[in-house]
Structure 1
Amino acid sequence: MIRTPDHLEIRDERFRALVHPMGKLEQLCTGFTWTEGPVWFGDRNALIFSEIPSQTLYQWTEGQGLSVFREESQFNNGNTRDPWGRLVGCRHGTRDVVRTEYDGALTVLASEYEGKRLNSPNDVVVSSDGAVWFTDPTYGIISNFEGNRAEPEQAARHVFRIPPGGGAPVPVISDFAQPNGLCFSPDESILYVAESGSSHDDTVPPVIRKYAVDGETLTSLGDFATLDCGLPDGMRCDVQGNLWSSAGDGVHCFAPDGTLLGKILVPEVVANLCFGGPDGQRMYITATSSVYRVFVDVKGAEPWTRSARA
C-alpha cells in the first residue's frame, strides 16, 4: 500500500479521490518576495503570475522555465481570463482593473466609483456572460510595499461588478472588512468570497462567505467555511464543485457542503492557486517566495484549465 505523502493531510476519505499519493509537490521557481495571481494559458502552455513588490508579471513554461511577461506592472495582483481568452488583472499602483487585448494594448475597465478612486483592486473573476467581478480592499494603499500609501476614498471595501460590455462598476457586497479572493461554482450559481480582514484585525474571522447568484443580484447564504490556519486569499473550484482555498499552511479543500476534506501542505504561506497543465489537473500554487506545482486527480472548473483557448 502506498503511504500518504507528507504534503497531503487527509481529513475526509473523499479527499483521497481528489489527490494521488504519487503526486509530488514540486517547487518550480523561487527567490521572490510575494507571488500572487496565477492564471493558466493553455494556448501557450504557460503559467502567468504576479510578483507584486517588484511590479513584475512572470511567465513560466514547461521546458523553458521562467521569463518576464510584463515589467512595470503597477503592483499587479490577481489575474484571470475572460471568456475570449484575454488576461484581466487588478493593479494596486494605478488602483484599477485592466484588460490585456490581443495586440498587447491595455484597456482600463474600472478605476473609480462615484467619482472617487477605487481602493486597490485585489482579485477578479469574469462570468460567462462577460461581467467582471472584483474585490476592492485597501491592501495596496496601506503601505508602499505592494502599492502606494494613500487614504481610501471609498466609504467601504466593496465587491464590484462591471456589467457585460463594460460600464461603471456597481457594488454588490459592501460589508467586508477586507474582501479578497473570489470564485464561482462550476455552474456560476454560487459566488464565494474570502474575508481576509484578520491580516490586520484579529477580531475578524478568517471565513469564506457564500452567495447565491441571480444575474447581477447576490443573496447571502452565510459563512461557507472557516479556516483553521491563516486566512483565505485566492480560491478556485474544481469541476465537482469542491472549493480549494489558499491558507497559512497550504491549500485547503472544501466539499460543496463546506466540509474540510483535506489539505495540500506547502512550506510557505500560500496566496493563491489555479488549475492548469495540458490536462487541467496540475495545481499551480503561488506562495510567499516560490511557485509550486502538484498533480490533483480532478480538473479545474474554469474552461481554460481543461483545454487550450485562443
Structure 2
Amino acid sequence: MRRAFLLTAALIAPLAVHAAAPAQQSEARIERLTPALDALIAPGAAIERVATGFGFTEGPLWHDGRLWFSDVTGDTLRAVDASGRVQELIANAGGLTDPPPGKSIGPNGLVPDRDGSVLMAQMGARRIVRVGRDQRVMPLLADYRGKRLNSPNDLAYAADGALWFTDPPFGLFNGMDRDPAKQLPFNAVFRYARGVLTPVITDLKLPNGIGFSPDGRTLYVTDYGPPGTIYAYRVGRGGVVSARRVLIRFPAGGPGGADGLKVDRRGNVWATGPGGIRIISPAGKVLGRIVLPEVAANLAFADDGHTLYITASTSVYRLRTAVAGILPRYTR
C-alpha cells in the first residue's frame, strides 16, 4: 500500500500529446459585455490551445516555470511548458491502488507550499498530500477528529499563512453524499493553521473553488450547484468569517458548472461556470466571458501574472491578460 504513494522522479516520462495551434474564433471567443473588460483583456488577445488529449483536466498551478495540472479521470499529475511539451509527473496520483476507471478519483487542486513542495488534493484517497521536489508523495491531512475527509478539491493559502480548502463529496463515486463511505456530516470549507484543522463553513452543498481578495479580507467560495453560486465572506482574525453575501448566482444554461476561481490584482473574480468563464467585479457585475469549445473546470495565473492558463476537459488553454492575476502565496 505504501509503495503506491512513494513515486520518484525516475518514473517521469513524456506523454504522447501534442501542442495545438490557436483555437479558431468559431471555437473559442471572448465576449466583451462592458467596456471595462478592455483593461483586463486587451482587444485582439488570442486564446490558444496549448496541449490536448487528456481525460478531465483540473487544478492548474504555475510551478518552477511550468504549469502543473491534474487529470481527474486519468488519475495522473502532469506538467506542461510554454511550448506545449507535456510530462507525466506522477501516475496513480489520486492515491487509490486499484481505482475504478472513468471515475473522479485522481488528483485535483494544487498549491505551492513554503518549502518549495506542492500540496495536492487526492480525490481517491480522500486526503491532502505533499509532493516533494523529487515527486515523492507524503500524507498531510486525511481526517477531521478521526473521521475521513470527503474528497478535498481546491486549496488556497491566506495572507496569514493558513491553508484553506474545500471538501465536497465528488470523489465518493458511489452516490456522493449517499455513499456509505462518507463519514463527515457536512461538506466543509476547512482552515488548517498551526496544526489545527477547523471546519469554518459547513452549510454549503458542494463547496468547490476558493480564493481571496488582494487584501486578504474577503474569501470567495463556489457552491457548485448546478447552476451554482459564488459567495463572498468577510475574513476576520483567526479565520472567523462573517457577512456572507452572494457575489453571483450563475444562470442556468450552457455546459459546465460553477467550479474553480481565481482573483486578479484589481479584485475581479475569474470564475468557471455554465457556458464559460466569467470575469466578475468585486461588486458582482459580469464584465465579460471567455467561451471555449470544452467545459472549463479551473484556471490559474502564471509567469508574471499576465498569463492565464485554463484547464478545460481534454485540453489546456492559454490567454495573455492585460491585468495581472494574484499568484499563490508561495509561488516559485
TM range (shorter): 0.7 to 0.9
Distance, in Å, in 1 between the alignment partners of 2:146 and 2:46 is 50
Residue aligning to 1:69: 89
TM-score between both structures, scaled by the size of structure 2 = 0.82
Which residue identity is paired with 2:260?
G
**What TM-score do you get using the length of structure 1 for normalisation?**
0.87
Deviations 1:134-173 (A, max 9, x none): 11110000349x9xx753110010111111x4x2421000
Partner of 2:160: 129
Partner of 2:232: 210
1:211 maps to amino acid: Y
For each residue in 1:255-307, what CA deviation from the matched residue of structure 2 results, as whole angstroms up to 9, or x when unmatched? 11110000111111110000113x321110000111100111111112579xx
- Aligned equivalent of 2:183: 153
CA offset at residue 52 of structure 1?
A: 0.9
Distance 1:267 1:104 in 2: 33
Q: Are 1:226 and 2:249 counterparts?
A: yes
Q: Does 1:262 align with 2:288?
A: yes
Residue pair 2:159, 2:329 contacting (<8 A) in 1 also:
no
SS in 2 for 1:301: coil
1:217-266: CA deviations, max 9, x gaps?
11132211112354211100001100000123221100111100001111
Find the aligned partners of 2:180 and 2:70 in 1 and give their Cα distance.
Answer: 22
Q: 2: CA distance between counterparts of 1:114 and 1:271?
A: 31
**For the residues of structure 2 that align with 1:271 and 1:107, how far apart are their CA atoms?**
26
Question: How far 1:84 sits from its partner (Å)?
Answer: 4.3
Which residue identity lines up with residue 250 of structure 2 in the other structure? L
Q: Which amino acid aligns with 1:247?
A: G
Instruction: Calculate percent identity across the aligned residue pairs.
Output: 36
Q: Find the residue that maps to 1:169 and give its secondary structure.
A: strand
Q: Which position in structure 2 is the counterpart of 1:174?
A: 202
Equivalent AA in structure 2 for residue 51 of structure 1: D
Q: Secondary structure at the match of 2:203?
A: strand
Judge which range, 182-191 or 63-72, deviates more: 63-72
Helix, strand or coil: the match of 1:139? coil
CA separation in 2, counterparts of 1:104 and 1:66? 16
* Contact kept? 1:83, 1:128, Cα under 8 Å: no
Matched, 1:101 2:132: yes
Q: Report the CA distance between 1:128 and its aligned residue.
A: 3.1
Paired amino acid for 2:144? Y
Residue number in structure 2 paired with 1:112: 143
Aligned partner letter, 2:190? F
Contact 2:260/2:298, CA 8 A, preserved across alignment: yes
Counterpart residue number, 1:57: 77
Q: Distance in 1 between matches of 2:149 and 2:328?
A: 29
**How far has the Cα of 1:63 moved from its partner?**
3.3
Are the equivalent residues in 2 in contact too, given 1:249–1:267 (CA < 8 A)? Answer: no
Whether the aligned pair in 2 keeps the contact of 1:285 and 1:291 (CA below 8 Å) is yes
Deviations along 1:28-70, one digit per CA (max 9) or x if unpaired, are: 11111210000011xx310000001111011001236111111
Structure 2 letter corresponding to 1:276: A
- Report the 3-state secondary structure (helix = DSSP H, G, I; strand = E; otherwise coil) of the residue aligned with 2:140: strand
Is the Cα contact below 8 Å between 1:142 and 1:150 reproduced in 2? no
Unpaired segments of 5 or more residues in structure 1? 199-204
Task: Give the SS at the match of 1:251.
Answer: strand
Aligned residues: 289
RMSD of the alignment, in Å? 2.1
